A and B are shown apart, each in its own frame.
Chain A
Amino acid sequence: KQEVTQIPAALSVPEGENLVLNCSFTDSAIYNLQWFRQDPGKGLTSLLLIQSSQREQTSGRLNASLDKSSGRSTLYIAASQPGDSATYLCAVMNSGGSNYKLTFGKGTLLTVNP
């Protein structure tokens, strides 16, 4: 059974800092891995999707890496801004017969202080 863990559970940084969020998963047989952003009372916004054959994806100030063999992914946020404050969720999609189910971590609550 796939389990996804995110560390830290919460992070508070001053504006302008670079930061790293961590995600680990127990079953390396994944189809893809996604990072989402969730704002309070809102839905989820997909930030980056990394296919199992890829090592990283970049979008603007965000960079996500994937090491499938070790079951780890990181989300790097450069030059953080107060508008980055949100909960960041990591989710994996397993390969095999159920390659539509996303298994989520509990998230990292990020606060960027002005």
Chain B
Amino acid sequence: NAGVMQNPRHLVRRRGQEARLRCSPMKGHSHVYWYRQLPEEGLKFMVYLQKENIIDESGMPKERFSAEFPKEGPSILRIQQVVRGDSAAYFCASSTTSGASTDTQYFGPGTRLTVL
């Protein structure tokens, strides 16, 4: 059973370009979470999705950021018109259920975005 897969692992963009980050959850997992780790900061929750639904996007910046988890295919985190402050590691996690006290979120290796 492959773990959570993220690609690309490293992404370099110039200011103003778009960044697309992909996450394939573990097999059998229907809950996906995105977290961002800024330099010298802890991981911060961004968004929680289930198939075709955004459940909670309270951690997402209001502008330029969007996320989706379509019926088929990976979850996508999209950042439009990137700025240097978007440079960070973006982690995706998945779980089988949500809200169970024993449920573990399994994390992918992350995508390290660098904005020049």
Contact = CB atoms under 8 A, between A and B. Distances in A.
A16 to B, nearest CB: 30
Contacts of B102: 32, 49, 51
A89 B102 CA distance: 18
A46 B99 contact: no
A95 to B, nearest CB: 8
Contacts of B95: 100
A43 to B, nearest CB: 4
Interface residues of B, number: 30
A96 B105 CA distance: 18
Q: Which of B31, B43, B98, B102 has the most CB of A within 10 A?
A: B43
A80 to B, nearest CB: 23
A4 interface: yes
Contacts of B56: 98, 100-101
Contacts of B109: 41-43
Contact of A102 (B4, B43, B99): B43
25 contacts: A4-B42, A31-B99, A32-B101, A36-B107, A42-B110, A44-B107, A46-B104, A49-B104, A51-B102, A52-B101, A89-B42, A89-B43, A100-B55, A100-B56, A100-B98, A101-B33, A101-B59, A102-B33, A102-B35, A102-B43, A102-B45, A102-B105, A103-B45, A104-B43, A106-B42
Interface of B: 4, 6, 31, 33, 35, 40-45, 48, 55-56, 59, 91, 93, 95, 98-99, 101-102, 104-110, 112
